[in-house]
Structures are given as C-alpha cells and as structure tokens.
Amino acid sequence: MRKLRREPLSEHATRILWKQTVKIVEAGRSAPSRSKLAKARKDEARRLWRQKAGATFNEIRAALKEMAPGVERCMYCESNEGTDIEHFWPQKQAPCRAFDWSNLLLACSACNSNHKRDRFPRKHGQPLLINPTEDDPLDHLVLTPIGKFVPLTDKGENSIPVFGLDRGPLERSRVIAWAAVDGLIVRYANACKRGDFASALETQRALCEYPQVSVFAAILRVAESRVAEDFLSIYLSPECRAALVAYPEIKSWLDG
C-alpha cells in the first residue's frame, strides 16, 4: 500500500452523490425506534447502491482508476486489477457513507469480497485500518525485502489480516518486485549516463507503473533513512544506492 491522492469529482457527480445521501438520511425518519431507523437506512442504501449506473458512476470509476497505484491496481494489495468500487466504512455499518466520495476506494474482488468484507475494527469510534487516501501506509507498515509487512501501529497491525496483505502469493510478488525495482533504478542511471533519455523516460514510467508500487515507495524510504551501512546493504544493492544519490529526482517520482 502507498499514499494516494484523491481526485476531485465534477460538480454534477458531487451533487448526485449528495442527493443519494440525503435519501438515505431521510429514510425511516418516522421509525418508532433507533433499530428500525438504522434498518431503514441500511435498506435504502442497499437499494440505491444496486441501482447505481450511468455517467456519474462512470466518472467515479474513472477517477478511482486514475488514483489507483500502478496501472489500475487494487488500492489494498496492489497486485490484482482493481475491479470493485469498495466502501472503506462498510455499507452495513455506515449506510449514510454509502455515497460519500471520500469513502469510496478501488479494490480487487479478492480483497473486497474474500478478505475485508464487513470487517472494520475501530477504537473510540475511529477506524483501525489504513485508508490509503487519508493515511500514509509507510507510517503504519514497514515492508521488508522478504515481502512481509511489519506493523508499526495498531492500524498497521489490523490492516495486514483484514486486507489479506500476508497472503503467500502477495509476499512472493513483493520479493520479485523488490529485485525488479532495484534493477530498474540502476537501469535508469545507466541510461542517463549514456545520454539515452528515451530509455530513461521509459524506465521511469515502468517504475511508477510497476505492480506492487509500494515496493518502490519502501525502497525510497529506506534510501532516505539514517541506518547503518551494513544494514542498508541488506535492503539495496550498491548500484541502486549510488543511482539514488546520483539522480535524486528519482525520489520525487511518486509525489505526484
């Protein structure tokens, strides 16, 4: 996972989402109890969500794909194609957030339907999960060269099992990505040395769009950290470290 910037929606799409939210809030206003009010809102949110279609949701899906890491990857695992519009706050637990733009993410079916589902740990009412559009995952998780995430906070601790970030295939793909990204950084430096700027640009694009882009972010974080030389050598090849020093622009590629 890596920090993602949420794209703004058009005024028209924002207005449509607001109207749907008002319908949910108004549902069951005359309900005789809090439980029946809650049920009415859940039912209305589910009904409206099933009806979603048209230009507004085409825009929403396009915006989420633009925000997603790599090439339209899942915002949680970054490995699979992002196919589902996912509610960070589950619709069953927070029906009034069903059409809240800030609550919508792009996920793969494995993360959305098989792992997270309606699991949503909280403490004092606040989520104990990483929202990549609001939190910087690197503040909550450390990614190691063996493909495993190590939690730094309660959010990190909970996010690993809820999002299924400890799946064997994902950990293996991160190991492969770590070696590939290290090599691509060296390839960029070599292209620049030769004056082959077309190849350098192609390599930059490959780095920024590579699946498991959080590996690239983790490598940049390691390179900027003040750790012992022998420890740093475990994480990065000497050629990669030299390239990051010689071409500091690499460190800003994920800022946009």
* Residue 189 within any structural domain of the chain: yes
* Residue 247 within any structural domain of the chain: yes
Of the candidates 11, 14, 213, 40, which has an alpha carbon nearest to the alpha carbon of residue 102? Answer: 14
Determine the average pLDDT of the residues in 3-22.
96
| 211/130: higher pLDDT | 130
Residues 101 and 199 placed together within one structural domain of the fold: no
Q: Show the 3-state SS of 127-196.
A: ECCCCCCCCCHHHCEEECCCCCEEECCHHHHHHHHHHCCCCHHHHHHHHHHHHHHHHHHHHHHHHHHHCC
Residues 16 and 118 placed together within one structural domain of the fold: yes
Is residue 212 classed as helix, strand or coil in its secondary structure?
coil
Cα–Cα distance, 159 to 129 (Å, whole number): 5
* Residue 150 within any structural domain of the chain: no
Cα–Cα distance, 211 to 124 (Å, whole number): 35
Residues 116 and 176 placed together within one structural domain of the fold: no
Dig out the tokens for 200 from the structure: 């350098």
Query: Phi, psi (5° rounding) for residue 71?
Result: -110, 90
Domain count along the chain: 2
How would you class 254 by CB atoms within 10 Å of its CB: exposed for 0-12, middle for 13-18, buried for 19 or more? Answer: middle
Residues 187 and 113 placed together within one structural domain of the fold: no
pTM, whole model, 2 decimals?
A: 0.90
Residues 110 and 27 placed together within one structural domain of the fold: yes
Residues 79 and 174 placed together within one structural domain of the fold: no
pLDDT digits (tens, 9 = 90+) for 137-161: 999 999 988 999 999 999 999 999 9
The confidence score (pLDDT) of residue 70 equals: 86
The confidence score (pLDDT) of residue 151 equals: 97
pLDDT digits (tens, 9 = 90+) for 211-237: 888 999 999 988 887 665 666 677 889
* Residue 199 within any structural domain of the chain: yes
Give the end of a domain, one of 90, 123, 156.
Answer: 123
* Residue 164 within any structural domain of the chain: no
* Residue 203 within any structural domain of the chain: yes
* Residue 162 within any structural domain of the chain: no
| 225/4: higher pLDDT | 4
Cα–Cα distance, 88 to 116 (Å, whole number): 9
The confidence score (pLDDT) of residue 225 equals: 76
DSSP state of 72: T
Give the end of a domain, one of 123, 155, 183.
Answer: 123
* Domain around 211: 169-252
Residues 84 and 26 placed together within one structural domain of the fold: yes
